[in-house]
Structure formats: structure tokens, C-alpha cells
Structure 1
Amino acid sequence: MIEISRINKSFDGHHHIIQDLSLTIPDGKIVGFLGPNGAGKSTTINMMTGILPIDKGTITLNGIDIDKEPLKAKEIFGFVPDRSDIFLRLKGLEYLNFIADIYQVPEDVRQEKIAYYTKQFSIDHALGNYIQSYSHGMRQKIMVTSVLLHDPDIWILDEPLTGLDPKSSYALKQMMREHADKGNTVFFSSHGLEVVEQLCDEVAIINHGELLFYGTIDELQAEYQTDQSLENVFLELTNDA
């Protein structure tokens, strides 16, 4: 479970990027995190993962405060950032072993998982190549694979499907569904509203750092008395004109 309680974030001390944002993401759900560019999605995710400090408020992951116990909290979540241009001078297998070492994944377990996930994502043939030689999609796949190695309870994914080919995108969506169905939490941001509508149990929509809606698609349509698609309702909600 992810519990976000009245968090605030400002980079200049005056203009708040995030304003009193509260959100509870239960176990066993896939939750889509939506908002236009600059709405505060990545800032929120970076606070959830301990990359950015929280100015005010609290965030707990399975009851562990990310601000007070960052190392303990980071043991229970896996994070895929929206940028995959890191560790470019490592080979694919070196990077995966590096991540497995950090999380103390046993040798036999890591070998099995690396073989399984890289085959699922069709990058098993490239593990001996440097990541800097990978395409954007391949870099995304190696990042996702690294997250899955230590089997975290909570998945926090920032635009995880960007750059993936249809086969790999389908495989990841299946993994997300299976992970949530086991009672775990999947929280991901996306600009692909059709994917969110098809895959997610619930959606959270923010704009200007404030929560506009959280609930199911049916609840969203009922609240705004419409049978329109998520895309149409989203555009109406976030229209600043």
C-alpha cells in the first residue's frame, strides 16, 4: 500500500509544484497516474521514491516512511524512471548483476530471473553489449528487467511502456496484472490513456499539483455524468483554457 498524506513541494520556496496532495493506493490494484505535462507526476513519483525530499507531508510504502527510513522503504519497491539513459558504459548483464548485488539476490535466483525476463523482452541476445549501444526501447527493457529481479511488493513505474514494441508492451502489461492479482501494488504514470483505460483498476488525475479525481473509470463517468472515454473526460478536466 502507498499512502501519500498532504505532501507539498516547491523548488523556489513560493510556487508550489505539489499542493497538499493526498492519495492512498491499496494493495491488489493497478493504478494509473495521469496529468498533462508539468502537472507534477514525476515530481510526486520522485518524492515517493526518495529522489526528492518532501517539503511537507508524509509518504509511506507498506507502512514505512520514505523520509524517515529510506533504505528500508527502498527494499520493498521497484522503480522504473522516465529516463533510461543511465549506466550506459556497463554491459547489459553487468548492469543486471550490479542491481542483483545491491538487493542481495542469490546467484541461482538471479540467473533464472535474468534468463526469463530478458527472453520475455527479447533482449537476451544483447546482454553482452554495452547499454550505450542499445536502442531506447532496449534500454527501457533492461531497466524493467532490473526492477523485477528482487521481486518487490510495490512497482512504481514512470512511463514504463514508452519505446516498447507491441510484444514487450503486452508482456509487461501481463506482468503488471499478475503482480497486482497476487495482492501487490502497481502504480504507473502514462500518457497512453487507452492503455490506462484497459489495464487500470483505478486512476488518479492531477493538474497543477492538485488531485482532481481518484477512483474507477465508472466512478469518473458517474461523477461527471458522461459515458465518454477516459481521454475525453481527461481533456475536459485538465483544460485550462
Structure 2
Amino acid sequence: MINIDNITKSYNGNYKAVDDLNLEIKDGEIFGLLGPNGAGKTTTIKMITGIIAPTMGNIEINGININKEPVKAKEQFGYVPDSPDMFLRLKGIEYLNFMADVYGVSIEDRLTRINEMSQRFEMSSVIGDKIQTYSHGMRQKIVLMGVIIHRPKVWILDEPMTGLDPKSSFILKEMMREHADAGNTVLFSTHVLEVAEKVCDKVAIINKGQLIFNGTLDNMRNEFKANESLEEMFLEMTGNE
């Protein structure tokens, strides 16, 4: 579970990238964070993960305050950033073992998990190659494998489908559903509204740093009193034509 209470992020004491945001993301949910470019999605995710501190407000992950107990809170989640270009000089297997070491995963457990994920994402044949030789999609997959190797209850994914081929995208959506159905939490941001419409249990729409909708797609349709697509409702709410 993720609790976001009255979060604000100001820059230069003036501009508010995120303005008094409140969200509760429950266990068992796939929760989509939507919004146009510059809306505050990535800033919100960086505050949730402890990369940047909020100007005001509190964030708890499974009841642990990310700012007061950062290490303990970060043990609760796996985070996939919006760019997979990291640890490029390491081999795929070296990166996975490094991440397993960071989270204290036993040798036996990591071998089993690496084997399972490599097969599922069709990475077995390149796991011994350097990450810098990977395509963008392959880098995205190896980063994803690394952040979930310790089986965190909370997944936080920033634009996770970017660069993935259709099959890998399908597998990731399948894994997200399995993770949520097991009573865990999945938060992801996306620009691909069709993905959100098909995958999410709930969505929040942020525009200019402010929350303008939070609920299910049925809630949204009832609010609009129309059987519109998510794209049509999104454009109407954010004023993008």
C-alpha cells in the first residue's frame, strides 16, 4: 500500500510541480498515474521512491515513512525508472547478482528467480552479454528483472512499456496482474492510454501538478455520463485537443 498525504513539491519557492496531492494506492490494485507531459507524474514517482524530498507532506509505503526511514521503506518496493540506460558496462548476469546482493537474496533463490525471469522474458541467450550491447527493450527488461528479484510487495514503474516489443509488453502486463491479484501493489505511469484502460483497476489523472481525477473508469464514465473512451475523457479533462 502507498499513502500520499498532502504532498507538494515547489521549486524556487514559487513553481509547484506537484500541488497538495493526496492518493491511497491499495494492495491488490494496478493503479495508473496519467497526465500530459510536465503534469507532475515523474516528480510524484521520484518523491514516492525517495529520490527527491517533498516540500510538504508525507509518503508511506506499507506504513513506513520514506523520508523518516528511507532504507526500510525502499526494501518494500522495486522501482523501474523511465530510462533503462544504467550499469551499461556490467553484463546482464552481473547486474542481476548485484541487485540480489543489495537486497540480500540468497544464492539459491536468485538462481531460481533469474532462470525463471530470463526464460519468461526470453533473455537467457544474452544474460552473459554486456548491457551496453542490448537494445532499448532488452535494457528495459534487464532493469525490470533486477528490481523485482527480491520479490517486493510494491512495484513502482515509470513508463515501463516504453521500448518493449508486443510480446514482452504482454508478459509485463500479465506479471503486473499476477502481482496485484496476489494481494500486492502496482503503481505505474504511462502515456499509453489504451494500456491504462485495459490494465488498470484505478487511475489518477494529474494536470499541472494537481489531481483532477481519482477512481475507476466506471466512476469516470458516470461522472461524464457518457460511454466515452479513456482517451476522450482524458483529453476533455486536461484540455488537450
TM over 0.5: yes
**Corresponding residue for 2:177?**
177
Three-state SS of the structure 2 residue aligned to 1:45 is helix
Give distance in 2, aligned partners of 1:53 and 1:156.
17
Give distance in 2, aligned partners of 1:44 and 1:150.
24
**Corresponding residue for 2:168?**
168
Flag as ranges the 4+ runs of structure 1 deviating above 4 A.
none
Give distance in 1, aligned partners of 2:182 and 2:134.
33
Give distance in 2, aligned partners of 1:178 and 1:112.
18
**Corresponding residue for 2:10?**
10
Say which is worse superposed, 117-126 or 131-140, in terms of deviation: 117-126
Structure 1 residue 229: deviation in Å? 0.2
**Corresponding residue for 1:48?**
48
In structure 2, list runs of 5 or more residues that go unmatched: none
TM-score (norm. length: structure 2): 0.98
How many residues get paired?
Answer: 241
Give distance in 2, aligned partners of 1:172 and 1:63.
27
**Corresponding residue for 2:203?**
203
CA RMSD after TM alignment: 0.9
**Corresponding residue for 1:102?**
102
User: Any residues of structure 2 matched to 1:115-134 within 5 Å, and which?
Assistant: 115-134=115-134
In structure 1, list runs of 5 or more residues that go unmatched: none
Give distance in 2, aligned partners of 1:133 and 1:77.
28
**Partner amino acid, structure 1, of 2:145:** T
TM-score (norm. length: structure 1): 0.98
Structure 1 residue 240: deviation in Å? 5.7
Structure 1 residue 12: deviation in Å? 1.6
User: Any residues of structure 2 matched to 1:23-172 within 5 Å, and which?
Assistant: 23-172=23-172
Structure 1 residue 67: deviation in Å? 0.5
Give distance in 1, aligned partners of 2:106 and 2:229.
46
**Partner amino acid, structure 2, of 1:212:** I
Three-state SS of the structure 1 residue aligned to 2:117 is helix
Three-state SS of the structure 2 residue aligned to 1:206 is strand
Of all paired residues, the percent bearing the same amino acid is 57
